Amino acid sequence: MAIKFSTTFLLRKLHQVTGIVPLGMFYFVHIYTNVTAMNGPKVFNDHVQDIHDIPFLLFIEVFGIFLPLAYHSIYGVLISGEAKVNVLSYPYARNWFYLFQRITGGFLFFFLLFHLLNFRFGLIPGLNMTPVAGHAQEAFSIVSTEFQKGWIVVVYILGVLATAWHLGYGFFLFVVDWGFVISEKAQKLTIKAALVLALLLGLVGVNAVFAFVRPCGLLPQSLCESSHVKRTPTAPARF
């Protein structure tokens, strides 16, 4: 018998995949770059420079990040609109998690819009007006200047925590929605793993926020000193 996919079915599957494959993968790269700020402006700026040196960067940015992000967030908001929240009548942990996934998603919709305009494009009047894109060597100072404002730091900490939850629990949702994890026992294990991942992403992310305010972030500075490795400038390659 011929297989018939409905539009809703395909859109849901695409929503589940875009959350993990382009966006989840990208977030790991993103958080890695942020964490390098623990070792100071030079290391961070060099890592930002490395990203600028990726071939086909604009293509990757548009098709690997912007389009999946736009799709995932807009369709996600539509999905959230379907929810008939009933956590007060049915106060079970996974029902709360269902609600958290939608709350963090809704918050991230606005946060990411702000974050992109604030740093990637530098287009919010009154705040930073220098896009990080194209100004790799100013990246650290752009962020640390912005983080002099307390409310900006609060907004970014909330953004990092919301992302940690949304991506961590999103991994659980992905593996059950695609039928990788089935039994109750396997679900429990996966949820634990997802929550541990969320916790780690949250801790590492929050520390990375503080790395732009204070060397090594919230950790003792002695942890970061030993890893200060100066890059030796390499001679331009000859062809």
Partner 1 sequence: MSTNEHIHKQKLTDPPKTVKFKIQRREKEGADSHWETFEVAYRRNMNVISALMEIRKNPVTTDGKETTPPVWDMSCLEQVCGICTMVINGRVRQSCSALIDDLLVATGGNTVTLQPMTKFPNVRDLKVDRTRMFEHLKQVNAWIDLDGSYDLGPGPHISSEVAHERYVYSRCMTCGCCLEACPQYSENQYIGPQAIAQARLFNMHPVGKTEMDERLNGLMEENGIANCGNAQNCLQVCPMSIPLPRAIYETNRDITVNSLFGWLKR
For binding to partner 1 (CB under 8 A), which residues are involved? 1, 3-9, 12-13, 79, 82-86, 88-90, 92, 94-95, 97-98, 172-173, 176-184, 187
| Shortest reach from residue 196's CB to partner 1, in Å | 19
Cβ 30 vs Cβ 64: under 8 Å: no
Q: How far is the CB of 3 from partner 1 (least distance, A)?
A: 5
Nearer to partner 1 by Cβ, of 47 and 166: the residue is 166
Quickly count: other Cβ atoms within 10 Å of residue 203's Cβ: 14
Do residues 101 and 123 lie in contact, with contact meaning Cβ atoms separated by under 8 Å? no
Cα–Cα distance between 112 and 167 in angstroms, integer?
14
CB nearer partner 1, residue 98 or residue 107: 98
Contacts 24+ apart (CB under 8 A), 63-71: 64/22, 64/26, 65/22, 65/23, 65/26, 68/18, 68/22, 68/23, 69/22, 69/23, 69/112, 71/14, 71/15, 71/18
Question: CA–CA separation, 153 vs 37, rounded Å?
Answer: 15
3 versus 235: smaller Cβ distance to partner 1: 3
Q: Which is nearer to partner 1, 12 or 42 (CB)?
A: 12
Cβ atoms of 119 and 128 closer than 8 Å: yes
Measured from the CB of residue 67, what is the shortest distance to partner 1 in angstroms?
21
Shortest Å distance, C-beta 143 to partner 1: 36
CB of 200 to partner 1, least distance (A): 22
Question: CB–CB of 169/194 below 8 Å?
Answer: yes
In the block, tokens 């539009």 appear at: 7
Residue 190 CB, nearest distance to partner 1 (Å)? 11
Whichever of 53 and 82 has its CB closer to partner 1, that residue is 82
Looking at beta carbons only, is 70 or 83 nearer to partner 1? 83
User: In the complex, what is the shortest distance from the CB of residue 167 to partner 1, in angstroms, rounded to a whole number?
Assistant: 15
Nearest 5 degrees, angle CA 39-CA 61-CA 206? 35
The Cα–Cα gap between 179 and 30 comes to: 29
Nearer to partner 1, 181 or 204 (CB): 181
